[in-house]
Structure 1
Amino acid sequence: MHRLYSALQLKKLLIQKALGETYTQPLPTLQEKSTALPTSLDKLKELCNNCYLCELSKSRKKVVFGKGNPKSDILFIGEAPGATEDSVGEPFVGRAGELLTKMIENVLNRPRSSVYLSNIVKCRPPNNRAPTPKEALTCRPYIFQEIEIIKPKLIVALGATAFNYLTNDTTPISKARGHFFTHNDIKVIPTFHPS
């Protein structure tokens, strides 16, 4: 059922693209959306690498899929890749990544390689702007499936965008910082983005 639904939606998108439409509204998803997506990180990454569902795919150099220890109990999620990440194809490798690495090593007393890092969207928004709601909603099934595969005990939401899209909470990051929230029974702690 899910594969048929996905195939029909893909057909609809391809027809719209052939008719010259450059972007469409995010498609309604089935309640059990995660079952339609791959259950391994490698296959999910391959799916992301072939994604052209939003305008961000047109300007990206590389898809920036999550990286790190897939068995980690801690998952860090930012909002979107920056210019360096877009060139390299890995999350948090620019200046913000250097600061995040220092935070992980000095505060958590563990190497960066012991945690998993990802972003709400997998492609860089132009001019390093925040992802639009449409872009984030289009990419949301990918990050939700990544979370489901990794099964962390704690998610550190880096910045307001990551916090808002994970929890659907609109509390300002300055007030939410340091408090626990949840995403599908997983603890989420928001903090400022290291950029």
Structure 2
Amino acid sequence: RPAAQRPAPPAPAPQARPSARAAAADDVAAPDEESTAWFDDAPAPSRPAPVSDEAIATMDWTALKAAVSSCTRCTLCETRRAAVNGRGADNATWIAIGAAPSRLDEKEVQTISGESGQLLDNMLKAIELKPKADVYVTSLVKCRPANPDGTDRAPTAEEFLACRPYLDRELALTGANMAMTFGQLAAKGLMMGPAARGKVMRYGAANLPVVATYHPDDLLRKPEDKAKAWGDLCLAKASHG
């Protein structure tokens, strides 16, 4: 009796060959998550347009502080860590004006900060002012001007002019009727020319009385000038009102 023949095993199913398109895709290495090389050809983000003088002149406090914080009116916006708004009473009768934020001011995001700020408060208290209720403290330039090595530098004429509308709006919103400048740079920057201690100067269309004195930083370096600063404070007090 012949042996039964076993059925032949089934032929293997044909395997799909990857298409050339899929193979090419597999050959492309996935980008490294830490790499930013694929951004190299992307266009740089454009700087927002600077706010106009006319727009600043109509702002309330909220809009003004926001505009200062995001300002692009000069090239200091490219190097600053933070713009520094003024501090103090929004309805102050006095305004204290420095030239520009220092390195410490920028770090603290506060105009005339640290030990200098404490001395300023003491100077104001000495002529019977309440720093937080009677005085608004600000600077002509809202961003810190810095040298390439990171040290502070004096603001340029262009930087003073770029920030001038902010100061004028601060004066209008506070309604301050007495101003003091602190430091020679602040006095010259505000008056846009020669300025001197020991006399009452006038600023703007409102004929605001202005008295110049030493910056607290100067007095900390040279305490012997405090007597002269006291004379300036007394002159300002006598001129107020």
Q: TM-score range by the shorter chain?
A: 0.7 to 0.9
Return the structure number with greater helix share: 1
Give the 5 Å matches for 1:122-137. Answer: 122-126=142-146, 127-137=151-161
TM-fit CA distance, 1:36 = 4.8
Q: CA deviation at 1:58?
A: 1.9
Cα separation, 1, equivalents of 2:213 and 2:176 = 17
Which of the numbers 114, 122, 129 marks the counterpart of 1:110?
Answer: 129
Q: Give the TM-score, by structure 1 length.
A: 0.76
Post-superposition offset of 1:189: 0.6
Q: 2:208 aligns with which of 166, 174, 186?
A: 186
Task: Give yes or no for contact 1:38–1:44 (8 Å, CA) kept in 2.
Answer: no
Which of residues 116, 137, 141 is equivalent to 1:96? 116
* Secondary structure at 2:128 match in 1: coil
Deviations 1:127-181 (A, max 9, x none): 221111111111111111111211211000111222122223314xxxx212101
**SS where residue 62 of structure 2 aligns?**
helix
Point out the structure with max Rg over C-alpha: 2
Distance 1:84 1:36, change over 3 A: closer
* Superposed CA offset, 1:3-49 (max 9, x none): xxxxxxxxxxxxxxx99xx9xxx9xx8xxx45653431221111111
Question: Do residues 62 (structure 1) and 82 (structure 2) align?
Answer: yes
Equivalenced residue count is 166
TM-score by length of 2: 0.62
- CA 36–120 in structure 1, closer or farther in 2 if over 3 Å, else same: closer
Matched, 1:79 2:99: yes
Which of structure 1's runs of 4+ aligned residues deviate more than 6 A? none
**5+ residue gaps in structure 1?**
1-17
5+ unaligned residues in a row in structure 2: which ranges?
Answer: 1-42, 218-241
Q: Distance in 2 between matches of 1:55 and 1:169?
A: 23
Q: In 1, are the aligned partners of 2:69 and 2:83 still within 8 Å (CA)? A: yes
- Tell me, yes or no, if the aligned pair for 2:103 and 2:152 is still in contact at 8 Å: yes
Aligned identity (percent) is 29
State the AA in 2 paired with 1:151.
G
1:109 alignment partner AA: E
Equivalent residue in structure 2 for 1:37, among 53, 57, 68: 57
| C-alpha distance in 2 between matches for 1:136 and 1:36 | 16
Of 165, 169, 187, the residue aligned with 1:163 is: 187
Q: Aligned equivalents of 1:137 and 1:149: distance in 2?
A: 19
- Indicate if the aligned counterparts of 1:85 and 1:91 stay in contact, CA closer than 8 A: yes
